Amino acid sequence: MALISYAQAACQALAAAMRADPRVLALGEDVGRGGIFGQYKGLQQEFGAARIIDTPISEATIMGAAVGMALTGLRPVVEMRVADFALCAIDEIVNQAAKNRYMFGGQGRVPLVARLPIGIWSASAAQHSQSLEAWFAHIPGLVVVAPATPADNHALLAAAIACDDPVIYMEHKELWALQGEPPAPDPAVLGKARVVRAGADLTLVTWSKLVHTAVEAAGRAAQHGIAVEVIDLRTIWPWDRDLVLDSAARTGRLLVAHEAVQAGGFGAEIAATVAEELGIPVRRVGAPRIPVGYARTLEDVARISAERLLEELTTFVQRDAQRRPAA
């Protein structure tokens, strides 16, 4: 079967949703020319300018208008280009989209999908490289999704569009061109993680682009006799507590890795939960608390490499095995 890119997969999921449901539409800057990552390619030709809506550079109103649309019977997909620019629309996301249903006593629903790509984008420096999934997981009312593969970018986007809650949908800025297996037609179930690789020595929870790094590190760890169970979280909120706790209880060790800054990252939530619930050793790997610099030597410091992951998990397992040889 022909492979498909991460961008194409999302494009197809959106097109399918638009064909099936006239309430679905997309709005944002440059979408009419296919979006700057090709993630809306050909859609305006098929669906017209009234449903693939080019907008001014007005992030606050792109998001705010989507709230108004969602409240009145449409299901907008909101293009924010990168999560960094969505910082111009935070009131609209947090005070309006997320709280609307609750604050007004359930009179309305805000079924929108806001696409906020995260991650370091090679050589794009501090204002185009942020991973802010932890922020949105902290906000009641929001669902937070971060697909790692083309297949998931189809299945999860389809699920997000079908969802009646506002969904913060965080693709990764460096995965657009990634090729992968063609997607299944069915939407995913939001909130369900996926075991990418089974293993008995350590549970490694991660998401987004780092899933691929984790798989690589796990492969190399296996050569050193360490069996790593890699879990792709897929949905950051609600996260799949049961699956993670099950796995961690079995392996007895939890490592969470994410590209976001480690301090205050969502890894803290997972590590803290596992520590509270299971009392097993936990560790986190995230970016240092520094902005992302432009020069490659600087940018690399903010990236989590497979080498780094391998080193962290090896040290973790070895130290812990020494400490508790009976375990």
Partner 1 sequence: MPVITFPVNSSPAEHLLDLYRTMARIRAFENAAEETSRGGVAVFGSTADAVALVRGPLHLSTGQEAVAAGVCAHLERGDYLTSTHRGHGHTLAKGADTAAMMCELFGRATGTNHGKGGSMHIADFSVGMLGANGVVAAGIPIAVGAAHSAKIRGSGAIVACFFGDGAINRGPFLEGLNWAKIFNLPVLFVCEDNRYSATTATDAMTGGAGAAARARGMDIPAETVDGNDVRAVDHAARDMVARIRAGGGPQFLHALTYRVKGHVSVDPATYREQGEVDRALESDPLQLAAARLDALGVDAARIAEVDAAARAEIETALAVARAAPWPQAAAAYTDVQDTGAGQWH
Ligand X SMILES: Cc1ncc(C[n+]2csc(CCOP(=O)(O)OP(=O)(O)O)c2C)c(N)n1
Catalytic residue flag (residue 128): yes
Instruction: Report the alpha-carbon distance of residue 106 to residue 164 in Å, rounded.
Output: 12
Tokens in use for 88? 């111009």
Q: Is 102 in the site for a second copy (CB under 8 A)?
A: yes
Q: Which of 85, 121, 266, 316 forms a contact with ligand X (CB under 6 A)?
A: 85
Tokens in use for 115? 């696409």
Binding residues among 54-73 for ligand X as defined by CB under 6 A: 57, 59
Interface region with a second copy, contact rule CB under 8 A, candidates 23-31, 67-75, 131-139, 164-172 = 131-139
Q: Is 121 in the site for ligand X (CB under 6 A)?
A: no
Interface region with ligand X, contact rule CB under 6 A, candidates 81-89, 116-124, 263-271, 295-303 = 81-89
Binding residues among 245-274 for a second copy as defined by CB under 8 A: 260-261, 263-269, 271-273
Q: How far apart are the first and last CA of the chain?
A: 45
Closest distance of CB 239 from a second copy, Å: 9
Total Cβ atoms within 10 A of residue 180: 19
Classified as helix, coil or strand, 80 is coil
Do the bridges between strand 254-261 and strand 202-206 make them parallel or antiparallel, or are there none, so unpaired?
parallel
Q: Is 245 in the site for ligand X (CB under 6 A)?
A: no
Q: Which of 10, 16, 17, 59 forms a contact with partner 1 (CB under 8 A)?
A: 59
Instruction: Report the alpha-carbon distance of residue 178 to residue 180 in Å, rounded.
Output: 7
Binding residues among 24-43 for ligand X as defined by CB under 6 A: 29
Q: Is 119 in the site for partner 1 (CB under 8 A)?
A: no
Q: Which amino acid is at 261?
A: V
Closest distance of CB 134 from a second copy, Å: 5
Site string (162-181) toward partner 1, x via CB under 8 A: -xxxxx------x-xx----
Total Cβ atoms within 10 A of residue 105: 7
Residue 324, exposed/middle/buried by CB under 10 A (0-12, 13-18, 19+)?
exposed
CB 114 within 8 A of CB 80: yes
- Please, which residue, 81 or 234, has the CB nearer to ligand X? 81
Q: Which residues are catalytic?
A: 128
